[in-house]
Amino acid sequence: MQLARRVQQLPPYLFAEISRKTAAKRAQGVDVISFGIGDPDLPTPPHVLEALKDAADNPANHRYPETDGLPELRQAMAAYYQRRHGVELDANKQIVPLIGSKEGIGHVSLCFIDPGDVALVPDPAYPVYAVGTMFAGGEVYPLPLEEERGFLPVLEAIPAAVADRARVLWINYPNNPTGAPATLDFFERVVHFARRHDIIVLHDLAYADVAYDGYVPPSFLEVPGATDVGIEFNSLSKTYNMTGWRVGMAAGNATMIDALTRVKSNLDSGIPQAIQQMAIAALSGPQDAITAHNVIYQRRRDRVVTALRAIGLTVEPPKASLYLWARLPEGERSIDFAGRLLDDTGVVVTPGIGYGARGEGYVRLSLTTPDDRIDEGLRRLASWRAAPAGG
């Protein structure tokens, strides 16, 4: 059997590989504690679940949905952007609901990338940006994210010949995996850069509402001119603890949204309507759960930061996202460190190399582990010390 080259070239998905290794350890009888995947352990708010239960009894919701979603859902998404970011969007032209933002992120390169085209992709980054580019036949040009520069790409360092060939620029703030924030000033520079080189901006705002210490993450679309050059991906997964329900959105430039909708209409049939109804309830109902969840995550953040520093890692408390991006001792390889930690303690962390070459020397930890398991994980870390590289 001959597989397509794109599949042969496809690396194992990072989190599927972590899940496989975790399952293997558990099969050996190891009590594994995972800080690996950013899947909230806190439940979906009760009023959102009630909306789903009510909608499930309506036979109209048992049929095929439309790719572009219920008008009421698009209107609720537009209202969210107006309320949360002060951004006015046309619900009929500038928003399309997604089966989780990952689905749209994976599909969108098919809209803008032809074989041989260049995509500017941060390094380290969420792996789907590069994989979607590869599926479309494009080439990835990595943009280094350096700690000393706040994990922001230096747009001025991109060679003019590369920028002129590039079709899209991926950005993601609050950032995964680093947790770094971005300012409106940075987004303004992105808009200027995109106009100068005729580049489409694709911004991933999955962590818009997971923030700490009073920080309020901005939307790229808040910047004047942003809807001329790009679109933004948003998600209900982390904001409302709805990862399993698969609801997200793309918003921004109407022509780009139309292109993504056309691709989607040929590949999927949209979000089940009962789940769309629960999404409407999440976006339009009480928002107090967001603050309550962030208080829990911030408490976890502070405790885990203390524990990581105690075993010799360098880490700053992030202002947003669900992750800690911890720098390892000099010369330590992230896969070796993560493997030794799992073998010695049964604690899972994500090797930074899985997010790109610039992720080497770091590990990522998620804050979505229940408190009692965090307690046990930190107890194990406290009794463990990183051995010298190669030890």
Average pLDDT, the chain: 94
Q: What share of the chain is helix, strand, coil (3-state, %, to 5)?
A: 45, 15, 40
- Give pLDDT, residue 15: 65
Model pLDDT for residues 91-140, shown as the tens digit of each residue: 999 999 999 999 999 999 999 999 999 999 999 999 999 999 999 999 99
Q: Which secondary-structure segment (H or E) carries 119?
A: strand 118-123
Average pLDDT over residues 60-67: 91
Average pLDDT over residues 236-250: 97
- Give pLDDT, residue 387: 46
Cα 34 to Cα 349: distance, rounded to the nearest angstrom: 7
Whether the full predicted model's pTM is greater than 0.75, yes or no, is: yes
Cα 366 to Cα 321: distance, rounded to the nearest angstrom: 9
Cα 364 to Cα 334: distance, rounded to the nearest angstrom: 10
Average pLDDT over residues 26-36: 90
Model pLDDT for residues 72-82, shown as the tens digit of each residue: 999 999 999 99
Average pLDDT over residues 255-279: 96
Average pLDDT over residues 177-204: 98
Q: What domains are there in the chain, each with its CATH number? A: 5-44+288-382 (3.90.1150.10), 63-284 (3.40.640.10)
DSSP tag of 156: G
